[in-house]
């Protein structure tokens, strides 16, 4: 970051002396006012619940222009990445800052592939869960438990440990998600097959059984790979900020990523793909496309507490570019599976059309986000609804770990420690229990 030409001046109506605050520019995007010395100079904090106007770090990984509906990974538009690269190339880009050439890709793929198995003991840990446990409950536990199995990569201050834990996490997430699924349906776990690609291997671990030959469908494999690419990173969203805050204490990378998994689970974040599909299924049960108008009226009624899941975004005030790509993938997958007339896809299109024309959504700049169509694709692939967010977690792991490693390598990084505006009781005295 570099100092901008202008400075910010903060003045007070009570006559306190005004202060000047430095302003920094990034390479693109809004400038930032540096308030780090504000408390020392004025005794005041800033107040910004939900980080509406706060840049919590500097980063070189992902950039979103919310007004334009633009998403860049290390400078490359997501549309170009999604059409020209595969997920492991994207991982390389996010982790190391450059797209690999043929040799670097082969080396990286080999390294990741060498780490796809998990310690056999993980199976016994998994078996402690109820069969009907939500996959995200299981994933939070399993990812956290990795730190109990890989003691040689838990020192976040050691660059080699950071590197090996990054590779392990990227390599093992598909194995863990597939194990969580197999456990829920009572089928034997399938070991990874390292002659398959990253997405193909995940499909194999999910849908193969020891008694039959399983062949990966290339259209589905490519669609899943695209889902992974589109979810790989998204700058300082809630789960990434959670990973950074958690990691800022110096905890081990597996624990920090487990915190990210837990945060992602919420329906306002990664849980929206599951919630969006459940919403479509509910509308379908009520009568489908003919009920869209009625449903939209409920969404617009503030007292209903109903949201159009898969719509709206804190940063995008335009069409989420990932949603466009996901819609394209949705069409491809449905037509390759002969499901062109899928009622949920038709319903989603009808909902989108009405919402995009409705004043409520237009005024608030609410557009479909990535989760609006990703559930339909996953469902067509055969992934159960409750596993959608775990697939998101699998894909976002590379973003989390790249952001975590960037933070640890940043000389300006400090433990994250927000302050507060205290509005509770002032000091008071404890009254003995009999006199309260
Ligand atoms: N349906 C109906 N109204 C909405 C929606 C929605 N999906 N999203 C926002 N609004 C309204 C909201 O009620 C508010 O209206 P008003 O100004 O009258 O009070 C206005 O739009 C601004 O919304 P906000 O809640 O202040 O915006 P936010 O930036 O705090 O929230 C959001 C962003 C993504 C949490 C929210 O849009 C939402 O809950 N969407 C549905 C859940 C969803 O799809 N989440 C996935 C996000 S993308 C993937 C990811 O991050 O994991």
Q: Which of 231, 269, 313, 320 is catalytic?
A: 313
> With 0-12 CB in 10 A as exposed, 13-18 as middle and 19+ as buried, what is 409?
exposed
pLDDT digits (tens, 9 = 90+) for 14-66: 999 999 999 999 999 999 999 999 999 999 999 999 999 999 999 999 999 99
Question: Which tokens go with 169?
Answer: 């996490």
CA distances from 2 to 20, 28, 56 (A): 17, 12, 16
HEC per residue, the chain = CEECCCCEEECCCCCCCCEEECEEECCCCCCEECCCCHHHHHCCCCCCHHHCCCCCCCCCCEEEECCCCEEEECCEEHHHHHHHCCHHHHHHHHHHCCCCCHHHHHHHHHHHHCCCCCCCCHHHHHCCCCCCCCHHHHHHHHHHHHHHHCHHHCCCCCHHHHHHHHHHHHHHHHHHHHHHHHHHHCCCCCCCCCCCCHHHHHHHHHHCCCCCCCCCCHHHHHHHHHHHHHCCCCCCCHHHHHHHHHHCCCCCHHHHHHHHHHHHCCCCCCCHHHHHHHHHHHHHHHCHHHHHHHHHHHHHCHHHCCCCCCECCCCCCCCCHHHHHHHHHHHHHHHHCCCCCCHHHHHHHHHHHHHHHCHHHHHCCCCECCHHHHHHHHHHHCCCHHHHHHHHHHHHHHHHHHHHHHHHCCCCCCCCCCCCCCCCCCCCCCCCHHHC
CB distance 115 to ligand 1 below 6 Å: no
User: In this structure, which residue's CA is closest to atom 45 in ligand 1?
Assistant: 268
Count Cβ atoms below 10 Å from residue 244 Cβ, excluding itself: 24
CB distance 310 to ligand 1 below 6 Å: yes
Query: 308 alpha carbon to ligand 1 midpoint, in Å?
Result: 8
Query: 373 alpha carbon to ligand 1 midpoint, in Å?
Result: 17
166 contacts 401 by C-beta, under 8 angstroms: yes
User: In this structure, which residue's CA is closest to atom 9 in ligand 1?
Assistant: 312
Ligand 1 atom index nearest CA of 364:
21
CB distance 113 to ligand 1 below 6 Å: no
**pLDDT given for residue 258 in this prediction:** 98
User: In this structure, which residue's CA is closest to atom 16 in ligand 1?
Assistant: 364
- Name the one residue in this structure whose structure tokens are 């996959």: 135
Q: Cα–Cα distance between 29 and 31 in angstroms, integer?
A: 7
| Averaged pLDDT score across all residues of the chain | 95
Q: Which residues are CB-contacts of 238 (< 8 A; sequence separation ≥ 6)?
A: 263, 264, 266, 268, 269
User: In this structure, which residue's CA is closest to atom 34 in ligand 1?
Assistant: 313
Q: Cα–Cα distance between 143 and 246 in angstroms, integer?
A: 14
**pLDDT given for residue 31 in this prediction:** 97
Question: Which tokens go with 56?
Answer: 């919590």
Query: 314 alpha carbon to ligand 1 midpoint, in Å?
Result: 7
User: In this structure, which residue's CA is closest to atom 30 in ligand 1?
Assistant: 314
Query: 390 alpha carbon to ligand 1 midpoint, in Å?
Result: 22
Within 13 Å of residue 323, how many CA atoms lie on the same side as its CB? 21
Q: Cα–Cα distance between 358 and 293 in angstroms, integer?
A: 10
CB distance 322 to ligand 1 below 6 Å: no
Q: Cα–Cα distance between 34 and 13 in angstroms, integer?
A: 21
Mean per-residue pLDDT for 405-428? 95
CA 70 to chain centre: 17
Count Cβ atoms below 10 Å from residue 171 Cβ, excluding itself: 21
Q: Which residues are CB-contacts of 96 (< 8 A; sequence separation ≥ 6)?
A: none
Query: 367 alpha carbon to ligand 1 midpoint, in Å?
Result: 10
Question: Which tokens go with 21?
Answer: 């605050």
Determine the residue of 62, 264, 312 to mutate for testing ligand 1's pocket, defined as the one with the most ligand atoms within 8 A of the Cβ atom. 312
CB distance 109 to ligand 1 below 6 Å: no
Measure the CA dihedral 399/401/403/405, to 10°: -150
Query: 268 alpha carbon to ligand 1 midpoint, in Å?
Result: 8
CB distance 309 to ligand 1 below 6 Å: yes
CB distance 231 to ligand 1 below 6 Å: no
Q: Which among 402, 389, 391 has a CA at the least distance from the CA of 167?
A: 402
Is 234 part of the annotated catalytic residue set?
no
**pLDDT given for residue 67 in this prediction:** 94
**pLDDT given for residue 153 in this prediction:** 85
Mean per-residue pLDDT for 151-171? 92
Question: Which tokens go with 323?
Answer: 């949603």
Q: Which of 86, 233, 320, 371 is catalytic?
A: 371
Question: Which tokens go with 82?
Answer: 């999604």
Mean per-residue pLDDT for 212-227? 96
Is 313 part of the annotated catalytic residue set?
yes
pLDDT digits (tens, 9 = 90+) for 249-304: 999 999 999 999 999 999 999 999 999 999 999 999 999 999 999 999 999 999 99
CB distance 370 to ligand 1 below 6 Å: yes
CB distance 323 to ligand 1 below 6 Å: no
CB distance 244 to ligand 1 below 6 Å: no
Q: 95-109, 165-179, 269-283: which has the minimum mean pLDDT?
A: 269-283
Query: 194 alpha carbon to ligand 1 midpoint, in Å?
Result: 41
22 contacts 7 by C-beta, under 8 angstroms: yes
Query: 22 alpha carbon to ligand 1 midpoint, in Å?
Result: 33
Q: 80-89, 144-153, 256-265: which has the minimum mean pLDDT?
A: 144-153
User: In this structure, which residue's CA is closest to atom 36 in ligand 1?
Assistant: 312
Residue 354: pLDDT above 90?
no
pTM equals: 0.94
């Amino acid at each position: 970051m570099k100092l901008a030409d202008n400075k910010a001046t903060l003045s007070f109506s009570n006559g306190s002396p005004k202060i000047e605050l430095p302003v920094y520019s990034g390479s693109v995007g809004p400038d930032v006012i540096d308030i780090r010395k504000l408390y020392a100079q004025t005794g005041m904090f800033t107040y910004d619940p939900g980080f509406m106007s706060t840049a919590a770090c500097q980063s070189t990984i992902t950039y979103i222009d919310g007004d334009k509906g633009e998403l860049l990974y290390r400078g490359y538009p997501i549309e170009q990445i999604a059409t020209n690269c595969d997920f492991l190339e994207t991982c390389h880009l996010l982790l190391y800052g450059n797209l690999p050439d043929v040799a670097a890709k082969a080396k990286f793929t080999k390294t990741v592939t060498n780490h796809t198995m998990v310690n056999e003991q993980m199976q016994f840990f998994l078996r402690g869960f109820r069969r009907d446990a939500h996959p995200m409950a299981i994933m939070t536990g399993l990812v956290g438990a990795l730190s109990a199995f890989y003691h040689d990569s838990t020192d976040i201050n050691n660059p080699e440990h950071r590197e090996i834990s990054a590779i392990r996490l990227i390599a093992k997430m598909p194995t863990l998600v597939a194990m969580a699924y197999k456990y829920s349906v009572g089928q034997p776990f399938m070991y990874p097959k390292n002659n398959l690609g990253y997405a193909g291997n995940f499909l194999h671990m999910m849908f193969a059984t020891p008694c039959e030959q399983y062949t990966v469908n290339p259209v589905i494999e490519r669609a899943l790979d695209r889902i992974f690419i589109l979810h790989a990173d998204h700058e300082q969203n809630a789960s990434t900020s959670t990973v950074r805050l958690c990691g800022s204490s110096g905890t081990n990378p597996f624990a920090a990523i487990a915190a990210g998994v837990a945060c992602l689970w919420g329906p306002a974040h990664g849980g929206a793909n599951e919630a969006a599909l459940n919403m479509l299924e509910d509308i379908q049960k009520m009568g489908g496309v003919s009920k869209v108008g009625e449903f939209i009226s409920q969404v617009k009624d503030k007292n209903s507490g109903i949201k159009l899941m898969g719509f709206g975004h804190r940063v995008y005030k335009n069409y989420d570019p990932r949603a466009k790509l996901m819609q394209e993938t949705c069409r491809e997958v449905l037509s390759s599976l002969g499901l062109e007339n899928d009622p949920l896809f038709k319903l989603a299109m009808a909902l989108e059309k009405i919402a995009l024309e409705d004043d409520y959504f237009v005024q608030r700049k609410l557009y479909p986000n990535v989760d609006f169509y990703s559930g339909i694709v996953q469902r067509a692939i055969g992934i159960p609804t409750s596993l959608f967010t775990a697939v998101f977690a699998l894909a976002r792991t590379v973003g989390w770990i790249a952001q975590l490693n960037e933070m640890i390598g940043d000389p300006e990084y400090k433990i994250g420690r927000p302050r507060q505006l205290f509005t509770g009781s002032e000091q008071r005295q404890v009254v003995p229990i009999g006199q309260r």
